[in-house]
Chain A
Amino acid sequence: MSTEIIDPKVATRRLFVRSGLVAVYFLLLVVTFLLGKGYTLLIDNKDAADGSVVAIDGVLVSVDGAEALELYSGDRDATQLKGQRHRVIVELISDGKKIEKSIHLPLDTDMLLLSVPKLVAGIEPFVEVFVLRDQPRPAGEEVGNTNAFTSPDSEALETVEPPVP
């Protein structure tokens, strides 16, 4: 913009500073992305579909030192996490055995499922991506038309069935 002649030394220094700033900018972007990435971790204590493991009756699961979740056979609970690396501590209520594992969550997903029985049995991977599929409609619930209602009053208005063209 200005017409003054710039000393080449100043020019190179300026270039360095500017590219440094750009690098810092991108570094900060990456750091905030990695630190702030949020996950929903479903903690699941159910029998595996293939029958490889069975649910454990009574475990305490604590993620990153948070208050432990108490899970019985067939339970599933959810916890919100931030960042990729987490420490999971599973404690069996029956004998007080403690298992500590560290998990590393992938960046390209938001919702994961941690299977407690698999973790206890030492089967890898015990964390997998959870996909929200179209859940079936609850059985026995009819849609629409189940609640037709006429407001009570003296003069009920008359309905005329129209001629179908």
Chain B
Amino acid sequence: MKKVVKIVTILMVIAFFFAGTSVFAQAKYHIGIVTGTVSQSEDDLRGAEALIKAYGDVKSGGMIQHITYPDDFMSQQETFISSVVSLADDKLMKAIVVNQAIPGTTEAFKRVRAKRPDILLFAGEPHEDPLVIQSAADLAMSADFVSRGYTIIWSAKQLGAKKFVHISFPRHMSYETLSRRNEIFKVACKDLGLEYAFETAPDPTSDVGMAGAQQFIMEKTPQWIEKYGKQTAFFCTNDGETEPLLRQLLAYGGIFVEADLPSPLMGYPGALGIDLSAEMGNFPAILKKVEAAVVAKGGAGRFGTWAFSYGFTVTAGLGEFAKTVIDGKAKKDSLKDLFTALGKYTPGAKWNGAYYTDANTGVRAKNQILVYMDTYIMGKPGKFLPTTTQKIPEKYYLIKNQ
């Protein structure tokens, strides 16, 4: 036993000696970006790569320090939290952007804040409850789960849908945001004359795994189309399950307005079997290629998406916003400055956004923003549905979970 202790001590001393020699280079300050991996959320990661391309990697004297969180992030919060906090170990770190802000982000932000109050903390697509993430983040940005509860149903109606099927599973329904959007779907369906139905799919993080969940969707979708008819719009809360759903909808009929986190890259490349490596990061080109493939398979007028990837834009846009704020060119509570930063990565896109209003207290949060873009319906020619200019009746904003 003593020997081990001795060896441990000696090796530690050597390690300490080496560790002191690492040097950070030229950039005046650093921005930390935390995203998922390619297998979990590719769009988010590509956004970070776009930032590295623009401002350089910390390792080579640039500005961006990119790290990823584990794929099974729900059970590895400890790893996630400490890797976010480790970013604050860098003296030059001035901002941290987490997209998606998975559970544990609030705690990580609290720890960073305790250590380094000067660091800007931005959360993209928080998984935690709005009031929780608002307690720690300087700014949180989510896809507008309130407005989209209405606009998705509205769009489905424009495409001629008679029924709307919501595919999810219990763990997702334990998210306040997803659960509340589902309630809004129900009310909107009733108001706009669509029939609402709920279908349960397996949870990919459970024992069946992603492969099992996708297999389930592959087998079930034709049956659902038989049950509900071809004039039915499908919506799935899980990103991984979107791909087989799209594939089967292309083959058997049915309508797909947009994904939970819409992007031309969400599900389509896999479902269509197209290679987009040449177009990487160029969303107009990606959209064109995806659209051509959808039309070729007879899906014109039935499939929609946002023209730019939401995940990509949030990562890159929040990183850009952090930079402009640190440079003193923008204010962190200015919606206009934020949209300008987002706009840099989405030329020509129509946005809408609002501060989050708590349904219980009516209090408007100044540090959480809900955004959405116009829905693009692929066809020949494709068209935008003007969702961002739709007047959404106020009552939808006050719908609570039942």
Contacts and interface: CB of A to CB of B under 8 A. Distances in A.
Contact flag (A, B; Cβ within 8 A): yes
Contact of A151 (B160, B342, B384): B342
Nearest to B159: A162
23 contacts: A132-B361, A137-B362, A143-B354, A143-B357, A143-B397, A144-B146, A144-B352, A144-B394, A144-B397, A147-B335, A147-B339, A147-B351, A147-B353, A149-B343, A151-B350, A151-B351, A152-B347, A153-B348, A157-B350, A159-B386, A160-B384, A162-B158, A165-B158
A146 B364 CA distance: 14
Nearest to B157: A165
Contact of A136 (B343, B362, B391): B362
B364 A141 contact: yes
Determine chain B's interface SS by DSSP, over half rule: mixed
Interface in B259-280: none
B348 A135 contact: no
Contacts of B160: 165
Interface residues of A, number: 29
Interface of A: 132, 134-138, 141, 143-162, 164-165
Nearest to B359: A134
Given A147-B354, A148-B389, A135 B349 contact: no
A135 B352 contact: no
B242 interface: no
A157 B348 contact: yes
A145 B392 contact: yes
Contacts of B394: 143-144
A157 B362 contact: no
Interface string B366-399: 0000000010000000011110111110100100
B214 interface: no
A150 B364 contact: no
B349 A151 contact: yes
A159 B374 contact: yes
B362 A134 contact: yes
A151 B354 contact: no
B354 A155 contact: no
Nearest to B335: A147
B142 interface: no
B307 interface: yes
